[in-house]
Amino acid sequence: MSLECLRADDIWDNSTFIQDIFDLIFCSKVVVVDFTGKNPNVMYETGIAHTLGKTVIPITQSIDDIPSDLGHHRALKYYPNEEGLRDLSNELYKRLKVIYNQNT
């Protein structure tokens, strides 16, 4: 799809990590968030993305890891093995294709 996928770990543009995260979210059209493990940083970053009006695609290994106040969002569930990651890649591709076709 000729999209660029970045993580804040991939760049060092600012003096603080959170500013790099904010800048990436701010410039993004779509933000993929992995709720696996209930990482508080992911919850924070998801809040930033929602506040900025970004399209968020939640992924998770367990639906139980998605907070109840975000449970109304559809999420892609995946298994952390070769087949599961391949399926996730295919599902993400389909979802991104729909998102980008809606906005062209």
Relative to beta strand 55-60, strand 30-34 is parallel
> In the structure encoding, which two tokens stand for residue 4, read together?
């660029």
Q: Which two tokens stand for residue 53?
A: 């009006």
Residue 22 counted as domain residue: yes
What does pLDDT average to over the chain?
A: 89
Q: What angle do CA 55, 62, 56 make, to 5 degrees?
A: 5
Counting the structural domains of the chain, the total is 1
Q: Which amino acid is at 13?
A: D
Greater confidence, 15 or 44?
Answer: 44
Sheet-wide strand order for 76-77? 30-34, 55-60, 76-77
Read off the pTM.
0.85
Is residue 1 included in any domain, yes or no? no
| pLDDT tens digits, one per residue of 49-100 | 999 999 999 999 999 999 877 777 789 999 999 999 999 999 999 999 999 8
- Answer whether residue 83 is part of any domain: yes
